[in-house]
Amino acid sequence: MNEVLIKAITELNEDKVIKMVKSLLKEGASSQDILDILQEGMDNVGNLYEQSEYFIADLIMAGIIFREILNLDEMKFDHDSPKKKFVGKIVLGTVKGDLHDIGKDIFSDIATSAGFLVYDLGVDVPPEKFVQKIIETDADIVGMSGVLSLAITSMKETIDAIRNAGLRDKVKIIAGGNHLTKDSGAYIGADETTNNATAGLKICKKWTKKID
Amino acid sequence: MSNFIIACEMLKDEVLKSQQNTGNKDPVKWMDSILHMDPDKLRADLQDVIDGSTGYDNLLFVYGSCGNGLVGLKATTARLIVPKTADCITMLLYGRNDIDSIRKDTYFLTKGWLEGEKNLRNEYQHSVDKYGEEKARHIFKVMLNHYRYLMLIDSSAYDIDEYIKISEELAIKLELEFMIKTGNVTMMDKLLQGQWDEDFCVVPKGGELTFSSFGTSSCDTILNKF
């Protein structure tokens, strides 16, 4: 069944994927099992894009399917359950001057599903808004997103503002965007960079384990 | 001084126009425009071209940072001259102070972009064929969320009339506001004429193009790194 589901995701067969995920959840699969299968299919989609088989539109379609699954009731982290507490708090936003939100939204969804409390500030977020929200929420992690080249400058300004507010040692900072490299991450002063929402979530999980 | 031009074929019309403007006759290596979709592959392919370009004093790049695709290039065989721009949009709209605010909510087109293998028009048609009209609209609503304008840049290097109609039709399908802005090939003219001022990064032979090369006014090259 898993192989068939991975294939359906890879082929971006929306109806089939949703039907199969619902059936797996009914049979008792955990949301984490589903996420793992989903990720494998998504990786295949990414590879096909890199091999020029798929278009950007297909990547977007993959994102749409991903979000659709995460929005199923069974996939949602039960934040109201007294047994479950938040894994950590993340202040998230697309940096000033950039309006791209696909990657940010996917990250927000999977982080929420994984038990993080996510404060999503939206797009075109100025540095002071990040600072304000960190203070207000006592966040553990800041997630900055952006795909335009100018986003790198905005990310650096955001981290500078966090440092100037005396908060740099209180938060871990991850920057996400397709064009980010270790080199640019070092330039902006982030702890980590990623161009993959799931890999970004793994980094955040690793950090919060250390925090606990 | 012997120069060799390495250019993205997306900008072919503009480079040819600039060569015409300046009387430049340097040889040109046209790089596949699809490479801009994959900065790592772009970097690897450009490095291969650099490594194989012996006997020249300067390699002139008609490229911007292009998603950091040029960051890390090593000047193994000659001096590298690279425009300090984020990408070709900034290059073609050279001299505009409002570039950052324009590009925030604008999708850009030229003849080169409209004829590229995976251009916006093909993307849309592919989506309609694969997912149907309704789903295609949804995909593009997500893809172009927050975009307001579809801008055709008139770089003066091609006959714009033919592309106005195509762009207008696309704008209607994508529910974006269509506009035309006049661009220029000034930056390429400067590149080809050796006017390598603060708008260019000059990496000496043996150096490396770094991330900050594009972001600061002075070139930050790493010498003797390899």
Any CB–CB contact under 8 A between B222 and chain A?
Answer: no
What is the DSSP code (8-state) at residue B132? -
Over chain B, what is the mean pLDDT? 89
Name which residue leads in pLDDT, A187 or B22. B22
Place of tokens 């997103």: A145
Chain A contact present for B194, CB below 8 A = no
ipTM of the complex: 0.76
- Cβ burial B102-126 (10 Å sphere, 16+ → b, else e): bbbebbbbbbbbbbbebbbbebbeb
Same domain, B102 and B153: yes
- Does residue B226 sit within a domain? no
Q: For the segment B164-202, what is each residue's pLDDT rounded down to a tens digit?
A: 999 999 999 999 999 999 999 999 999 999 999 999 999
Q: Which residues, in sequence order, are bridge partners of residue B164?
A: none
Q: Would residue B223 count as lying in a domain?
A: no
Residue B147 with chain A: CB contacts under 8 Å: 99
Q: Say if the Cβ atoms of B68 and A183 lie within 8 Å.
A: yes
Nearest Cα of chain B lies from the Cα of A159 at a distance, in angstroms, of 17
pLDDT level of residue A59 (50, 70, 90 thresholds): confident
Alpha carbon distance B191, B188 (integer Å): 5
* Contacting residues of A for B146, CB less than 8 Å apart: 99-101, 123
Same domain for B20 and B62, yes or no, is: yes
Between the ranges A24-33, A80-89, A94-103, A129-138, where is the mean pLDDT highest? A129-138
Chain B CB contacts of A12 under 8 Å are 130
Measured between alpha carbons, how far is residue A141 from residues A42, A144, A194 in Å? Answer: 25, 10, 14
Q: Which CATH superfamily is domain A2-75 in?
A: Methionine synthase domain (1.10.1240.10)
pLDDT tens digits, one per residue of B112-135: 999 887 788 999 999 999 999 999
CATH code where residue B73 lies: 3.40.50
What range does the domain containing B105 cover? 96-182
B61-to-A25, A132, B88 alpha-carbon distances in Å = 54, 43, 11
Place of tokens 């770089």: B155
Instruction: State whether B17 and B79 are in the same domain.
Output: yes
Do B170 and B189 lie in one domain? The reply is no
Start-end of H helices in chain B:
12-22, 39-52, 88-92, 99-104, 111-115, 120-131, 133-143, 161-174, 186-193, 211-215
Integer CA distances (angstroms), B85 to A65, A159, A178, B99, B187, in order: 36, 23, 18, 11, 10
For residue A77, is pLDDT > 70?
A: no
Q: Are B219 and B90 in contact (CB under 8 A)?
A: no
CATH class entry, domain A88-211: alpha beta
pLDDT of residue B191: 97
